[in-house]
Structure 1
């Protein structure tokens, strides 16, 4: 036996022993079902710890008095808090659109689902609006990762290990910091995850109800509706007696259509919400022309870490779509992820928000999770640890260093 064999043998034994211990631990139902929550809370806590460090450093550098909690309530977070506290008619006057203007229709750009949940929690004794908002985000994040865990176990080739890796990748997404903010992403992703669980497991009532709820939280629900309705219609074609699929397909778009209809009546314009977005934030669907211009500009002449990082994240997302097709991921999951990506790339809205708007496209991470589930434990922990630190830095930079809206 060579000296190399002598060195490598103990390492291989240790690797096998560690994998065996982990497998045995996860076989216990309590440990297995506690793992998604523990992973999510740990990864997000790392992100918040790094955010606090960066905020403190920026205060020393610039002489400011910012706080991590203040950063977590910034930008759109202030709008959601204002709507939760006073409704659409009594949002603080200091809040304006991207052009610095404010009218009665401006708050209508923000969907009501997340503020409504905040208001319900705020009704509990001793709970402030801010505390309620953070609580809703945390609870939503936990519901989301359990949905992702089930999804990771349910897809073709899935397993508990793949589900936990999927949870970690989502928790450590580049802009996962918004999951800890007073933003609506965590709540939307929670409903989307369970709607897709319903699709994969053919529980159409679950899929339809969760999809309808997501439609009251974010316009990104359009991609979810496409996935749920198409999958339900395929089920109906296969078995026209499947009344649950009919119900799921009919219920799925109700949330989004209800809010868009209400805004249309409120503004007296059939394209009410879209008009509010375009007038206030210059946001409309241009087929990706503005995104392409932004991409070419920043690839040729990088100007900031956030903008350059956003460009590369969009490119990686496109590659993940290709991988999902090659991996033959369940087609409704591809439809959803591709739909989110198309809505993000195809909009000419704030370019700095595109990294955040990619977060709901979590189904594109499933092929990555399935591939990593086959790797050695040391490789897996190294990659996931790196992703966690990179996410923490990117989120902290976006909030504490970058001076514009995300």
Structure 2
């Protein structure tokens, strides 16, 4: 049966204009390296364009790649969380502001600092994590219903060229989180419950967005338990998945409010987000107000582009649901979008916050995989160029944090 499906896939790729894999050593090696080459090619374009913009605006590439959150992560890696009282969004000195940043990324930076230096270590981690995400996406695009090896490679290109994908090349956590998230989803689809639990646990130590991943794991595991398809193995994923995120939230609360109850300790991180960045759950009210203001009176390109990204994400979700693809893909995307759009976080950072919602790109990748190679190259090239400009503009022309 596997041989028959492989033959069908090769025929489909040939019909679409993709050269057949002849099975020789060079072909196999090229196939193995293709996700990395596609990802690195698109990301290299983004960095090159950013380099040009940085020169035009009299700043350095390194300062842009380590700006804003990157500075926080580098300081935490060097000195730990005890950075002293730092003025928060209310201009009140707060010794706990740094604890709003999750620990896994600065820990890895600290481990790799001796051989490489802190800044290089941060960027190397993002590079390696991005490559891991690329191979996970290539696999995801192949194993979903209607997917193929070709669709997987297109999915890698689209992911590397999403709006604000420049963050994947920065001292930010997006690349690391996306790598863990995509391999969690791959493990769920392949019913490798222990791997899904471990990857989700680790993701919970990287970003609060892991809550969306935890929900996806829970839905998949409970469904498997009800259907009795894998015995009690899904329980391993259920037990492991929330441990990272809620463990860090509890630890943060314990450090800030040692004598408080469990509920107050778990909510401490949210309090720090509000105090430091005026970010809190408001049911989407702030996002709705922002969109209304931009559509009726904004004269800044960044605002208009941000609204465009939000609209594109919502449209992509509708397509994902209407195509009735694997439920775990829609559940995860819905979670990421809800956490992003239902908060009062920096509005112009929302394109970056939507980066982990890469499952929205699956229908696009599968549809493109049925087109001729020339069409695929043209579409992916255009998207990559627009993404490169968007990232460079956001980091050099736009003066506020993203």
Partner of 1:330: 326
Contact 2:18 2:373 survives alignment (8 Å): no
Q: Identify the residue that residue 119 of structure 1 maps to in structure 2.
A: 110
Is this contact kept in 1: 2:83–2:95, CA < 8 A?
no
Match of 2:398 in 1: 402
Match of 2:290 among 279, 294, 311: 294
In the alignment, structure 1 residue 203 sits paired with structure 2 residue 192: yes
Corresponding pairs, count: 382
For residues 230 and 32 of structure 2, the distance between their equivalents in structure 1, rounded to whole angstroms, comes to 35
1:285-364 correspondence to structure 2 within 5 Å: 285-364=281-360
Partner of 2:42: 43
- The C-alpha deviation readout for 1:88-122, integer Å capped at 9, x for no partner, is 0147x7x6544454421100110001111111112
Which residue does 1:173 correspond to in 2?
162
Q: Residue in 1 aligned with 2:70?
A: 77
Given that 2:35 and 2:138 are in contact with CA atoms closer than 8 Å, whether structure 1 keeps it comes out as yes
Structure 1 residue 56: Cα displacement: 1.1
* Residue of structure 2 equivalent to 1:31: 30
Q: What is the CA distance between 1:22 and its match in structure 2? A: 5.5
Task: Spell out, residue by residue over 1:8-67, the C-alpha distance to the aligned partner (whole angstroms, 9 max, x if none).
Answer: xxxxxxx979925365489933211200101111111100000011111122xxxxxx10
- Quick check: 1:375 aligned with 2:361? no
Distance apart, 1:328 and its partner CA: 1.4
Query: Does the 8 A contact of 2:165 with 2:387 survive in 1?
Result: yes
For residues 205 and 38 of structure 1, the distance between their equivalents in structure 2, rounded to whole angstroms, comes to: 30
The question of 1:155 aligning with 2:144 is answered yes
- Aligned pairs for 1:89-238 (under 5 A) are 89-90=82-83, 96-123=87-114, 125=115, 127-238=116-227
Matching residue of 2:271: 275
What is the distance in 2 between the residues matched to 1:106 and 1:277?
Answer: 8
Query: Contact 2:212/2:336 (CA < 8 Å) preserved in 1?
Result: yes
Report SS of the residue matched to 1:336: helix
Aligned counterparts of 2:244 and 2:140: Cα–Cα separation in 1: 23
Partners in 1 of 2:230 and 2:212 — Cα distance? 26
Q: Measured at CA, do residues 57 and 222 of structure 1 come closer, stay the same or move farther in structure 2, by a change above 3 Å?
A: same
**Residues 133-158 of structure 1: CA deviation (Å, up to 9, x unaligned):** 01100000001111111111010011
**Cα drift, residue 398 of structure 1:** 0.4
Within 1, Cα distance between the matches of 2:215 and 2:16? 43
Over 3 Å counting, the alpha-carbon distance change for 1:100 and 1:142 in structure 2 is farther
Q: What is the TM-score with the length of structure 2 in the denominator? A: 0.91
Deviation string 1:187-238 (CA, Å, 9 cap, x unpaired) is: 0001001000011111111111000000000000000000011101111111
Q: Give the Å deviation of 1:303.
A: 2.2
Unaligned runs of 5+ in 2: 1-12, 258-263
What CA distance in whole angstroms lies between the structure 2 residues aligned with 1:165 and 1:285?
35
- CA deviation after TM superposition for structure 1 residue 243, in Å: 2.5
Does 2:56 match 1:67? no
CA contact (8 A) 2:138 2:152 kept: yes
Aligned residue for 1:21, secondary structure, equals: coil
In structure 1, list runs of 5 or more residues that go unmatched. Answer: 1-14, 60-65
- Separation in 2, partners of 1:378, 1:56: 33
CA distance in 2, matches of 1:130, 1:261: 30
Separation of aligned partners in 2, 1:210 and 1:350: 28
Question: Is 2:18–2:372's contact at 8 Å kept on the other side of the alignment?
Answer: no
Deviation of residue 266 (structure 1)?
Answer: 1.1
1:63 is matched with none
Matched position secondary structure for 2:344: coil
Q: Deviations over 1:299-353 (max 9, x none)?
A: 1123211111110111111111110011111001100011100111100111111
